[in-house]
Amino acid sequence: MEYMKLTAPEIYKLPKDTLFTVVLSPVEVHGPHIPVGTDILIARYLQRQFHKIWTDTPVVKLPELPIGSDPQPVKGSFSVPSSALKKVLISWALSLKSMGFRYMLVFDNHGGPRHQIAIYRASRYMLRRGFYIIAPFLHIMHEMLIVAPEIEKYIGTKGMVGDATDLHGGTNETSLMLETYPHLVKHPLPGHHKPSAGMLGKVLKKTMGVYGELLDTLIGWILEKENPGYVGNPQLASEDRGKAMLAYHLRRYIELTKMAYAGTYTPHPPLTPLLRGLFSILPEDRVYKKEIAP
Could you report the per-residue pLDDT of 200-212, keeping only the tens digit for each? 999 999 999 999 9
Could you report the per-residue pLDDT of 247-262, keeping only the tens digit for each? 999 999 999 999 999 9
Residue 258 CA, chain-centre distance (Å), reads: 20
Given a contact cutoff of 8 angstroms between Cβ atoms, the answer to whether 216 and 16 are in contact is no
- Dihedrals phi, psi of 21, to nearest 5 degrees: -115, 145
**Following CA atoms 141, 147, 150, 156 in sequence, which dihedral angle do they give, to the nearest 10 degrees?**
110
Given a contact cutoff of 8 angstroms between Cβ atoms, the answer to whether 167 and 174 are in contact is no
Q: Is the per-residue pLDDT at 289 higher than 80?
A: no
Q: Is the dihedral of CA 194, 197, 200, 205 positive or negative?
A: negative
Could you report the per-residue pLDDT of 166-196, keeping only the tens digit for each? 999 999 999 999 999 999 999 999 999 999 9
Given a contact cutoff of 8 angstroms between Cβ atoms, the answer to whether 84 and 25 are in contact is no
Q: What is the CA radius of gyration of the chain?
A: 19
How does DSSP classify residue 159?
Answer: T
Domains present along the chain, CATH in parentheses: 3-147+248-272 (3.40.50.10310)
- Reported as a pLDDT band with limits 50, 70 and 90, residue 226 is confident
Given a contact cutoff of 8 angstroms between Cβ atoms, the answer to whether 207 and 196 are in contact is no
Q: Which pLDDT value is given to residue 221?
A: 82
Q: Which pLDDT value is given to residue 125?
A: 98
Measured between alpha carbons, how far is 230 from 196 in angstroms, rounded to an integer? Answer: 13
User: What's the mean pLDDT when you consider all of the chain?
Assistant: 95
Lowest mean pLDDT among 69-73, 177-181, 251-255, 289-293: 289-293
- Reported as a pLDDT band with limits 50, 70 and 90, residue 154 is confident
Q: Which residue type occupies 187?
A: H
> What is the value of pTM for the model shown?
0.96
